[in-house]
Chains A and B, each alone.
Chain A
Amino acid sequence: MFGKHLFPGGIHPAEGTNGKAVNQRNAITELPAPKRVVIPLSQHIGAPAKAIVKKGDRVLMGQMIGEAGGFVSAPVHASVSGIVADIVPVTMFNGSEITAIVIENDFRDEWAPLDAPADPESLSPAETLQRIRQAGIVGMGGATFPTAVKLTIAPDKHFEKLVINGAECEPYLTADHRLMLEQADAIIDAVSLILRIFSVPEAIIGVEENKPDAIDALRRAASGNPAIRVQALPVRYPQGGEKQLIHALTGRTVPAGKLPIETGCVVMNAGTAFAVHEALREGKPLIRRVTTVGGLVAKPNNWLVRIGTPVRELLRASGGTQKGTRTLISGGPMMGTAFTEIDIPVTKGCSGILALGREAIDPEESPCIRCGRCMRACPMNLQPVRMDHAIRARRFDEADKLGVMNCIECGACTFVCPATRMLTQSFRAGKRIVTIRRNQQKAREEAEKAALAAKAAAEQSKTDGKEA
């Protein structure tokens, strides 16, 4: 029923208060736009956007207010109509400071003229990429890699399969579930358009089997297009990891250190596909997204929220956090980011806001008992104990050899560890250091090469001089 490809390891994290079971029944509700939106210029991986408006300007909803700052970048758009009140640095979920454009909402929701293509089916690939790029679309599962860049296929690679990630394997999160259920036609439309425009023979939509209604809705919507297959997947975290998903759906394995396109696959989140539909059919840029609010809140929900809405508003609309809340998280509990400042705006990659209790406080570490659970849980087939030992002993070359760079930081090893060791946390640090050391090594080698070349040149000129 699931196909025969299981990725290694994997875990079954339990849901807490107001998890999927509750929230999957809550239909997507539009959150009224706030008085002010705060739109960071960098909500994606890559160069930040450059502001193209100034304080005092009147902007319209959907108007581009920051243009892409490079090839790997994405523009940002006004999510309300109103006046640019300020351009200031704000602190983001991960603690970084990013310049943001603050817009005072005039509550008229006046759209900028939308440039919808007359016939999206006949768009060329280049035009399509241009439109996706101009719409500011980035991976909405949380990775926030610019979608147009992902869809730009190097000439020596083949785009054979479009893989739509509807796994939503993180506990609590139900935003994609509701979107796939309520907007199945739109998602399938985006998939069909991409297949057609980029001449891709096949699309596979992977959805964990705990969302049977979404699977049905997608299957119904896709029934007219034999090139699209909706595949139920076992419930197993991290089923939605790119490499794990590709393996589960196609049996292909992405080579270590390589991108999915090596297997002919491009992976796109279901929410991203919906954004592509809006961009190609209606010419609308990405100014809203669905965000789950769950955990210790009075009224958990799936909100359709304007980008730039402060988290405070989301929490307020969800009835506020309840007693016992110890951590706020942007994203899911396995890979999300803890934050404290609730005026942080919702960004393109924010799939959920969760209020978690005591369970989110890290217990004290105790000595490793060498039980091997971490190894069994690792979806990348790594050896967390050995990597952790190496990193803590500052033997970074050994950690590198053990494959720490393959770690996707999914958290499965930390989750299962009975000695409550901070394994993922150690790998995150280890990866950073290994990267720095690799770069230094490269720089050293290059410097050596340059020195050798200079020496050779000098000797050459000496002999040349003698000959003369």
Chain B
Amino acid sequence: MQHNLAITPSPHVRSGATTRRIMQDVCIALAPAGIASVILFGGHAAVIIAVCVLTCVLTEYVYQRLMNQRVTAGDWSAVVTGLLLAYNIPANAPIWIPIVGSVFAILIVKQLFGGIGSNFMNPALTARAVLFVSWSSIMTAYPNTVFMTGGVDTVSSATPLAALGKVFTGAEGASLADVGLADLFLGNCAGVLGETCKLALILGGIYLFIRKVIDWRIPVCMIGTVAVMYLLTSGFNAELTLKELLSGGLMLGAIFMATDYATSPQTNLGRIIFGVGCGLLLFVIRAYASYPEGCSFAILFMNVCSPLIDRWTAPTPFGEVKQHG
């Protein structure tokens, strides 16, 4: 009866939570938006998603094998990166775009900075930003959905954001009625492939919240800040505000990308500051920078600030007198 007894230091039990399980949960939460993208943009969306996921996992695997590191490519985190990157690419992009983006995301942004947990910028977002800057004509050629006149093969002339921007700045002939609320919510509008169906994204967010993978602070603060800013600057135009919230990459960014563990603060207060910061930046870029989409850049900028925010908001040990330094 004394055979095989192990001596290990306490604690002797664990919660059973694992990195892999968390990443799988994120994948589950991302699934509805993926399905929606195939319905909205057709088979090519599925191809882009598959290429991104495969390239990301493969890049991680090959890199770790070559560098003689422990292979963590099975922890599903590369799958998450692949999905997120795919969701940030227009559905009709040529196939080399997701490949280049995936290799860049995993190799440069993730692995060269030390692998999972050590990267300070979100890999998918950074890759998107790089693709955007390098091949902006491809990355901003948003196709129409299959339900829109012209279908996927036609490039949309105006995204909802552009239309709303005109309303916001009071351009002539612009009307809120040009952008349908139901279309925005269900995703029947131009945009990158995973960001359009807000219903699917919100469902995923609720799942992550229930599974305690993310907490409410970053998404609620980010979305809330955008809402407040639009209300204040548009003379409390609720319809405009709501449509702004449902446009562009805000939902995808707030729920899935701003909440990335490695690149967002860990403290509760830090997460609030981070969320508000993302929301403010997004608003400023959208409203004043004449940029089509501010979400990625807002989050990336806050990523860089996040270690600092964590330091400012570090908790005081229980029983220690609060001190600053």
Q: Per-residue CB proximity of A406-421 to B under 8 Å, as 1/0?
A: 1001011011111110
Q: How far is the CA of A317 from the CA of B153 in the complex (A)?
A: 78
B9 lies within 8 A of chain A by Cβ: yes
B10 contacts A403, C-beta separation under 8 Å:
no
Chain A residues near B19 (CB, 8 Å)?
366, 369, 418-419
B320 contacts A13, C-beta separation under 8 Å:
no
Chain B residues near A411 (CB, 8 Å)?
10-11
B1 contacts A414, C-beta separation under 8 Å:
no
Across the two chains, which residue of chain A brings its CB closest to B265? A372
A356 contacts B13, C-beta separation under 8 Å:
yes
Q: How far is the CA of A201 from the CA of B163 in the complex (A)?
A: 73
B318 contacts A385, C-beta separation under 8 Å:
no
Across the two chains, which residue of chain B brings its CB closest to A361? B6
B319 contacts A253, C-beta separation under 8 Å:
yes
A8 lies within 8 A of chain B by Cβ: yes
Stretch of A24-32, A177-185, A328-336 with 4 or more beta carbons under 8 angstroms from chain B? A328-336
Q: Per-residue CB proximity of A208-224 to B under 8 Å, as 1/0?
A: 00000000000000000
Across the two chains, which residue of chain B brings its CB closest to A422? B9
B12 contacts A338, C-beta separation under 8 Å:
yes
Select B319's contact among A243, A315, A367, beta carbons within 8 Å: A243
Stretch of A132-140, A148-156, A225-233, A319-327 with 4 or more beta carbons under 8 angstroms from chain B? A319-327
Q: How far is the CA of A369 from the CA of B77 in the complex (A)?
A: 10
A373 contacts B11, C-beta separation under 8 Å:
no
B320 contacts A367, C-beta separation under 8 Å:
no
B154 lies within 8 A of chain A by Cβ: no
A171 lies within 8 A of chain B by Cβ: yes
CB distance from A395 to the nearest CB of B (A): 15
Q: How far is the CA of A334 from the CA of B8 in the complex (A)?
A: 12
B177 lies within 8 A of chain A by Cβ: no
Q: How far is the CA of A368 from the CA of B12 in the complex (A)?
A: 20
A338 contacts B13, C-beta separation under 8 Å:
no
Across the two chains, which residue of chain A brings its CB closest to B263? A370
Chain A residues near B12 (CB, 8 Å)?
327, 329, 333-334, 336, 338, 356, 359-360
Known: A254-B319, A369-B116. A334 touches B75 (CB 8 A): no
Across the two chains, which residue of chain A brings its CB closest to B214? A371
B14 contacts A385, C-beta separation under 8 Å:
no
A370 contacts B266, C-beta separation under 8 Å:
yes
B133 lies within 8 A of chain A by Cβ: no
A256 contacts B15, C-beta separation under 8 Å:
no
Q: How far is the CA of A208 from the CA of B282 in the complex (A)?
A: 47
A406 contacts B320, C-beta separation under 8 Å:
yes
Stretch of B84-92, B142-150, B198-206, B309-317 with 4 or more beta carbons under 8 angstroms from chain A? B309-317
A359 contacts B17, C-beta separation under 8 Å:
no
Q: Per-residue CB proximity of B228-262 to A under 8 Å, as 1/0?
A: 00000000000000000000000000000000011
A56 lies within 8 A of chain B by Cβ: no
Chain B residues near A256 (CB, 8 Å)?
317-320
Chain A residues near B7 (CB, 8 Å)?
327, 338-340
CB distance from A170 to the nearest CB of B (A): 10
A327 contacts B318, C-beta separation under 8 Å:
no
> Max chain A CB contacts within 10 Å: which of B5, B10, B72?
B10
Known: A359-B13, A411-B11, A425-B9. A369 touches B315 (CB 8 A): no
A362 lies within 8 A of chain B by Cβ: yes
Q: How far is the CA of A336 from the CA of B8 in the complex (A)?
A: 10
Chain B residues near A315 (CB, 8 Å)?
1
A327 contacts B8, C-beta separation under 8 Å:
yes
A326 contacts B72, C-beta separation under 8 Å:
no
A379 lies within 8 A of chain B by Cβ: yes
CB distance from A427 to the nearest CB of B (A): 11
A382 lies within 8 A of chain B by Cβ: yes
Across the two chains, which residue of chain A brings its CB closest to B268? A376
Q: How far is the CA of A202 from the CA of B261 in the complex (A)?
A: 47
> Max chain B CB contacts within 10 Å: which of A16, A342, A415?
A415
A362 contacts B267, C-beta separation under 8 Å:
no
Q: How far is the CA of A7 from the CA of B319 in the complex (A)?
A: 11
Q: How far is the CA of A183 from the CA of B316 in the complex (A)?
A: 41
Chain B residues near A362 (CB, 8 Å)?
8
Q: How far is the CA of A339 from the CA of B116 in the complex (A)?
A: 35
Known: A258-B319, A372-B266, A382-B317. A342 touches B10 (CB 8 A): no
CB distance from B315 to the nearest CB of A (A): 4
Chain B residues numbered 21-70 whose CB sits less than 8 Å from any CB in chain A: 21-22
Chain B residues near A128 (CB, 8 Å)?
none
B18 lies within 8 A of chain A by Cβ: yes
Chain A residues near B292 (CB, 8 Å)?
none
Select A375's contact among B14, B315, B319, beta carbons within 8 Å: B315
Q: How far is the CA of A130 from the CA of B1 in the complex (A)?
A: 44
Chain A residues near B314 (CB, 8 Å)?
383, 386
Q: How far is the CA of A337 from the CA of B8 in the complex (A)?
A: 8
A101 lies within 8 A of chain B by Cβ: no
B14 contacts A335, C-beta separation under 8 Å:
no
CB distance from B14 to the nearest CB of A (A): 6
B175 lies within 8 A of chain A by Cβ: no
B115 lies within 8 A of chain A by Cβ: yes
Chain B residues numbered 97-130 whose CB sits less than 8 Å from any CB in chain A: 115-118
Select B13's contact among A7, A333, A366, beta carbons within 8 Å: A333
Other contacts beyond A356-B13, A369-B117: 17, CB < 8 A: A13-B13, A243-B319, A257-B319, A326-B4, A334-B10, A338-B12, A342-B2, A366-B116, A370-B266, A382-B315, A383-B266, A411-B10, A411-B11, A412-B11, A417-B17, A419-B117, A424-B9
Binding site for B on A (CB under 8 A): 7-8, 11, 13-14, 16, 171, 243, 247, 253-258, 315, 320-321, 325-329, 331, 333-340, 342, 356, 359-363, 366-373, 375, 379-383, 385-386, 403, 406, 409, 411-412, 414-420, 422, 424-425, 428
* A-B contact list, 13 entries, CB within 8 Å: A243-B318, A331-B10, A334-B10, A336-B10, A337-B10, A360-B12, A370-B262, A372-B267, A379-B318, A381-B315, A406-B317, A406-B318, A418-B21
A-B CB proximity, top 4 nearest: A411-B11, A372-B266, A403-B317, A256-B319
